[in-house]
Amino acid sequence: MADERRSSPSEDVRHLYEEAETRTAQAFEDVVSRGSFGELLARMTENVVALTKIATDVFDLTLRNLRLAGRQDVARLARQLARTEDKLELVLQGVERLADELAAEDGAGRPRTGRRGSANGSARGTSSGARGTSSGARGTSSGARGTSSGAGARSAR
């Protein structure tokens, strides 16, 4: 008893705290070691994933009902933009090919039909721009007017 009286209140509190911590740790280890805890944890995880999916679906529906662009709309627009860029690249390649053909015809010494210069003084058919090229291609006898490249170049004006 003499030893118990000599202990200070802070030591008593520390001893009680360590005893409670030991008992609590043992109780948690007993709970976690059971198979039912694993099943419970798996079901909770499934529920969290399901609730997250429901929340994202509700958010997408809210955006759609408010007529704001959602994730699916942005992805669809990105695909359309990629297709449009591909088509534009094909048109540009066709225009460059026609410009090269016109340059080759001019270099061969064959006269071109139409005027020799445009309104701004540059020669048609040069690689100075798509406008001069497309209007130069229209006046030649290469038949570029009926092709899809020629139609794209005409609509670009």
Q: What is the pLDDT of residues 105-155, one digit of tens each?
A: 987 766 555 544 444 444 444 444 444 444 444 444 444 444 444 444 444
Q: What is the pLDDT of residue 88?
A: 98
Structure tokens, 88 = 């534009």
For every residue of 69-86, DSSP letters joined together read --HHHHHHHHHHHHHHHH
List residues bridging with 123 in a β-sheet: 117
Provide the residue ranges of all domains of the chain, joining segments of one domain with +: 8-65, 82-156
Quick: pLDDT tens for 9-59. Answer: 999 999 999 999 999 999 999 999 998 999 999 999 999 999 999 999 999
- Alpha-helical (H) ranges within the chain are 2-6, 9-32, 35-65, 71-107, 130-139, 148-156
Q: How buried is 153 (Cβ within 10 angstroms: 0-12 exposed, 13-18 middle, 19+ buried)?
A: buried
- Is residue 125 within 8 A of residue 112, CB to CB? The reply is yes
Structure tokens, 10 = 């802070």
